[in-house]
A and B are shown apart, each in its own frame.
Chain A
Amino acid sequence: MEKTYFLMMAEKYKDMVYRIALNYYRNSADADDTVQDVLIKLFSADRQFQNEEHLRNWLIRVTINECKNVLRTPWKRWTVSWEGIAATTVFESPQESELLFSVLNLPEKYRVVLYLFYYESLTVKEIAQLLNLQESAVTTRLSRAREKLKKKITEV
């Protein structure tokens, strides 16, 4: 990949990769590791992307695969570090931090679907394809995640 274009895209999407990874791990150090790993893959990717959307979708897919691979190691799953997230994130209101930590308190399967749906604005069909789920499972997870969040925050 051409260097200037790579740096531009890496800068633009590194936070997206980080947020997806954070939703999987709930650990900022591991999420940073995944940003490095995924960007190395992008840097060394021997391929042409049709357009920026294509590249973004590729990054999402590679990030999800990377996170799943890391999580296959059982002892890796349990290094939860809230302090790292809290220390490096500046919120403008208590409600914002409350929502973030409420979401991160949900089980992984809800966190990831919520992020892809609400932040990356992917469709149910796209999420189903990325996560290898049926569309009904994605909709159910979204619905149950909202149900769980209702108990923790004022209005969903």
Chain B
Amino acid sequence: MNFEEQYKTAFSHVQTAIDLKEEDFYHMKRPVHGIRKSAVILAAIICLLVACSVTAFAANLFGLKDLILHENSGIAPAVTTGSHDSDPDGSAQPTTLISLQGFSGSNEYKAAMEWAAFLATYDQDGALLAKVGNGPTGLPEKYSQYYVYTQEMADKLDEITAKYNLKLHRSIDVFDSKEAFYAQAGLGDFLGRNNTDCSPYMFDDGTFHIDGSSAFPDGQFMQYQFMDCKKGVFTDTLLNIGNADDYTEWSYQTSSGVTVCLASSPSKCLIFADLKDSFVTVNVLAGTAEDSGNITPENLQELADSFDFSMLH
């Protein structure tokens, strides 16, 4: 039995306890979820903190807009409408892709933009991908960490990385705990004890990604994705931040002494750190809106303080 068959068999046993009855749908009410925390107080805190402590970046130097992949690059983000349906819940969102590799002007940013632009125009009808499927591509192992399934794509990747003098990821390790990850990466406990539920993976060159969560004193948790891209290496990951105009940005010196860029929007918050050997992005899976976590500037600064950026090398 192959993996797909094993997967289908295992999940076929998973069934809802809901027993449908016709009359229920005339009386059914939306289930009541947990009681919201003190939204009024938090809203007041947000207003106060936004008014008092947030200073927008003048001229936006080395801020969010310096990470956006240029609109004229031909890069077409995934769309939310199309063959499936016209958006039934009004959920279609603006899409803006940013580089996680470095600010504009860096070789890593330029390479990411060129590669994304290439992908946006290559095999648009998916015919070549359909031919390859999920089977082996027959290409050398060195391309296995990238979205490469034809020789033409491999050649383009080589061309871009040679042009910008970047190395490729060769292999990846996945870790069950942050302790195992620290040991292999040669890093100290830069996440600290408040950051739990970590699921790291790391490439051979030290570039790593962590899905984690941070506990706050009030008992809330914040989920995030922590990406550390080593300089001199090509990483093809991009991030969709929605509408860039929705963000408020400010610089902040963390308790580890490293100055980072913070950005908050109603649906998402971000932390950037341009370090000596790597570029760090923390994608916080919560925003300032009441229904998206009520994240305050203070919360975001607290999260930034929970990471010891000075330990990253």
A binds B: yes
For B238, what are the chain A residues with a Cβ–Cβ distance below 8 Å? 134, 137
Q: How far is the CB of A120 from chain B (nearest CB, A)?
A: 10
A residues contacting B by CB (< 8 A) are 3, 6-7, 10-11, 14-15, 17-19, 22, 28, 31-33, 35-37, 39-41, 43, 45, 47, 54, 57-58, 60-62, 65, 69-78, 85, 88-92, 95-97, 99-100, 103, 106-107, 109, 114-115, 118-119, 123-126, 128-137, 139-140, 142, 144, 146-148, 151, 155-156
With contacts A37-B31, A40-B25, A72-B292 taken as known, whether A129 is within 8 angstroms of B83 at the C-beta atoms is yes
- The reply to whether B14 and A118 form a contact with Cβ atoms under 8 Å apart is no
- How far, in whole Å, are A135 and B129 apart by their CA atoms in the complex? 11
14 residue pairs of the A-B complex, CB under 8 angstroms, read A18-B14, A32-B17, A40-B30, A61-B84, A61-B89, A69-B291, A74-B222, A76-B34, A100-B13, A115-B11, A134-B77, A135-B129, A139-B147, A140-B237
Contacts of B237 in A (CB 8 A): 137, 140
| Cβ-defined contact, A62 with B89, below 8 A | yes
- Closest B residue to A106 by beta carbon equals B199
Chain B min CB distance to A119 (Å): 5
B11, chain A: closest CB distance, angstroms = 5
- Partner of B6 from A6, A99, A144 at Cβ < 8 Å: A99
Instruction: Write the residues of chain B forming the contact surface with A, with a CB cutoff of 8 angstroms.
Output: 3-4, 6-11, 13-18, 20, 22, 25, 28, 30-31, 33-34, 36-37, 77-85, 87-89, 91, 93, 95, 97, 116, 119, 126, 129, 134, 147, 172, 174, 176, 199, 201, 211, 213, 219-223, 236-238, 240, 267, 285-287, 289, 291-293
Bound complex: CA of A39 vs CA of B36, how far in Å?
25
Chain B residue numbers with a CB within 8 Å of A115 are 11
CB pair A119 B8 closer than 8 Å: yes
Q: Is the CB of B8 within 8 A of A118?
A: yes
